Amino acid sequence: MDELQVSRDGAIATLVLNRPAKHNAITLAMWRALPQVLADLEADGRVRVVVVRGAGDRAFASGADIAEFPEVRGTPPGARLYSAAVDAAERALANFPRPTIAMIHGFCVGGGLELALACDLRWASRTARFGITAARLGIVYGLQATRRLAAVVGTSAARDILYSGRLVDAEEALAMRLVNRLCDPARLEEETYRYAEALAQQAPLTQQAAKLMLQHALGEGGMTESDLVALQDRAYDSRDYREGVDAFLAKRPPRFEGR
């Protein structure tokens, strides 16, 4: 769909929320389409890193498209179906097996911040603004999304964000660890993609295992401790492990294949 655009440059794919005239507000159709878009990216073995961004530089996403709420969320059953679509989209992004980076210009609010929190890392412009405005709408933030927020900023800051519905500027967001890095607006794209390139050169099996172990530590995902231990054994048997050791001994850059 045109409102979710995907492009690939080498090992890096970019997923764009493409509604700039609406500050990239997310429609129900976009929520529903996201899991399949991410499944297609997962199936592409060339993709090592995914950057998620909003079109333009005014917003990552201003949240869910409230204009469609009377139609798609106007009744309790409709609201439940809507929430289920949001949960499925965020779960698909959070469980994507390769590194994901939210590149944030401008407003990152409500459902937009939910998506950014479902990414592994968040790089933001110094002009970015963040918030969750559920308290202004009488909406209860979902359990998984609340857990991700608290895991990133801690429960005290999560209470502040959720109770107040206020917007947080970029410097405060960095201080509460809501974002990993701040960049000057003109350099955000360059620095984000430079970092993405660096991630794409590392061992995919290591990154995937680290992601699964961190999810397990936070009470997410379906892996058992035995499953996670098995990932270590799998790595020792992999071609990438042999390549990493050989490259280190030969003092050359490794060429990892993810197997």
Q: Where exactly are the structural domains of the chain?
A: 4-199, 203-250
**HSE of 57 in the Cβ direction (CA atoms, 13 Å)?**
9
pLDDT tens digit string along 54-102?
A: 999 999 999 988 888 888 877 888 888 988 999 999 999 999 999 999 9
pLDDT tens digit string along 113-172?
A: 999 999 999 999 999 999 999 888 888 888 889 999 999 999 999 999 999 999 999 999
Q: What is the DSSP string of the chain?
A: -TTEEEEEETTEEEEEE--GGGTTPBPHHHHHHHHHHHHHHHH-TT--EEEEEESSSSEEE--B-GGGHHHHSSSHHHHHHHHHHHHHHHHHHHT-SS-EEEEE-BEEETHHHHHHHHSSEEEEETT-EEE--HHHHTPPPPHHHHHHHHHHH-HHHHHHHHHH---EEHHHHHHTTS-SEEE-GGGHHHHHHHHHHHHHTS-HHHHHHHHHHHHHHTT-SS--HHHHHHHHHHHHTSHHHHHHHHHHHHTS-------
At the fourth CATH level, which superfamily is domain 4-199? 2-enoyl-CoA Hydratase; Chain A, domain 1 (3.90.226.10)
Q: Nearest 5°: phi and psi at 107? A: -80, 135
Residues 163, 167, 172, 173, CA torsion sign: positive
pLDDT tens digit string along 3-45?
A: 999 999 999 999 999 999 999 999 999 999 999 999 999 999 9
Q: Calculate mean pLDDT across residues 195-215.
A: 92
- What lies within 8 Å, CB to CB, of 56 at 6+ separation is 20, 24, 105
* Amino acid in the structure at residue 83: S
